[in-house]
């Protein structure tokens, strides 16, 4: 079953945001109470909607 943010997975944007979330959680600067895929997906979607993500950040790159 496809998730709501699957179009962003395996992109440089996804990987960068996922790494940032992990780093912030590890340093206890944030606590995430939901699945990280939803948090990262939402951030990707928001940046894309605001046209703040460079096109190359959205290229599929497994």
Per-residue pLDDT reduced to its tens digit, 26-50:
999 999 999 999 999 999 999 999 9
Q: Is 28 within a domain?
A: yes
pLDDT at 61 over 90: no
Q: Determine the Cα–Cα distance for residues 5 and 3; give it in Å rounded to an integer.
A: 6
Q: Is 31 within a domain?
A: yes
Cβ neighbors of 13 (< 8 A, separation 6 or more) are 44, 47, 48, 53, 57, 58
pLDDT at 1 over 90: no
Q: Is 1 within a domain?
A: no
| Residue with the two structure tokens 């997975």 | 9
User: Which residue range(s) make up the domain with 14?
Assistant: 6-58
Q: Is 18 within a domain?
A: yes
- How many domains is the chain partitioned into structurally? 1
Q: Is 27 within a domain?
A: yes
Mean confidence (pLDDT) of the chain:
95
Q: Is 47 within a domain?
A: yes
Residue 2 confidence (pLDDT): 82
Alpha helices in 1-62 (DSSP H): 12-26, 36-49
Taking the model in full, what pTM does it have?
0.91
The C-alpha angle with vertex 47 and arms to 61 and 39, in degrees rounded to 5, equals 80
Residue 62 confidence (pLDDT): 77
Q: Is there a contact between 32 and 25 (Cβ–Cβ < 8 Å)?
A: yes
């Amino acid at each position: 079953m496809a998730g709501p943010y699957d179009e962003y997975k395996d992109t440089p944007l996804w990987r960068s945001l996922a790494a940032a979330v992990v780093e912030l959680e590890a340093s206890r600067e944030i606590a995430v109470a939901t699945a990280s895929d939803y948090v990262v997906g939402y951030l990707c979607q928001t940046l894309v909607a605001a046209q703040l993500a460079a096109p190359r950040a959205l290229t599929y790159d497994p």
